[in-house]
Amino acid sequence: MNSTPNAIKRDEKTGDPLFIDRRELRLRYEIPVKDIYPFFDGLREGRVLASKCKICLALYFPPQGSCPTCRKSDMDWVELGPTAKLLAVTKVYIKPQSFAEEEDYILGVGEFPEGVKALARLLFEGSRMPKIGTQMRIAVTKDSGENPLYVFVPTEPGSNEPAP
C-alpha cells in the first residue's frame, strides 16, 4: 500500500509516470466439494481415492461426482496405487506468490496400473532429477498448513536416485 498522498510515481526503468492504485483486491475462493467428499474422508485416513462409475465402471481421478458418459451420479470410491510410474517431471524454481516461502519443489505425473494418472509433489532425496519411468509410491502426508496431501515417494526407502 502506498501511503504517500500523491499516487503518482516514476517507473524506475523508464521514468514514465504511473498512478499507483489505492484500491487493493484480495481473493479467496470457497469451493464446494460435496460431490467428492469421500475423497477427503479417504485422505484423512491416509488413502487416495478415485471415483468409479457404478454403471460403466469408468475411473475418475481427479475424482468427480458425475459420469458424463452415463449421465448418472452414482459413484463407488476405490483406492489408487500404491505404485505409479513417473511419466513427466519438473522442478519449480520460479514460484507463484502464494508458494514463495517454500523450497524449490519437484512435481511429476505418475500413472497408476489402473490407467489413471495424478499430478503431485515428489518427495525424493538428493538433488538429481528422478528419471522418467521411475517407479514411485503414492502416500499421504501433511502440507505446511497441517492439511493431508497426497505425494509421490520412492518405492522403497533409500531406493531413489543417488545424489550427484
Partner 1 sequence: MTKVAIVGAGISRFGRRTDANMNALAWESVSAALEDAGIEQKDIDFYSVGNVGVWSEENLPAVTVGEYAGLTPKGTMRVEAACATGSAAIKVARDSIASGSAKLAMAVGLEKMYGVPTPTIVELIGRAGNYFWEFENFGLTFPGYYALYASAYMAKYEAKEEDLALVAVKNHYYGSLNPFAQFQKQVSIDEVMTSKYVAHPLKLLDSSPITDGSAAVILADEETARRLTDTPVWIKGQGVASGSANLSKRSDFVSLDASVTAAKAAYSQAGIKNPVEDIDVATVHDCFTIAELMAYEDLGFVGRGKAVQLIRDEQTYKGGKIPVNLDGGLKAKGHPIGATGVGMAVEAVKQLRREAPKSRQADIRHGVALTHNVGGTGHYAYVTLYGLN
CB 101 within 8 A of CB 87: no
Binding partner 1 by CB under 8 A: which of 3, 71, 131, 163? Answer: 131
Q: Is 153 in the site for Zn ion (CB under 5 A)?
A: no
Binding partner 1 by CB under 8 A: which of 92, 113, 141, 142? Answer: 92
Binding partner 1 by CB under 8 A: which of 26, 34, 100, 158? Answer: 100
Q: How far apart are CA 160 and CA 147, in angstroms?
A: 26
- List Cα–Cα distances, 72 to 40, 44, 68, 69, 86, in angstroms: 21, 27, 7, 8, 32
Q: Is 22 left (phi over 0), alpha (psi -120 to 50) or beta?
A: alpha
Shortest distance, position 70 Cβ to partner 1, whole Å: 18
Q: Is 73 in the site for Zn ion (CB under 5 A)?
A: no
3-state secondary structure of 86: strand
Q: Is 53 in the site for Zn ion (CB under 5 A)?
A: yes
Q: Is 16 in the site for partner 1 (CB under 8 A)?
A: yes
Return residues touching Zn ion (CB under 5 A): 53, 55-56, 58, 67, 69-70
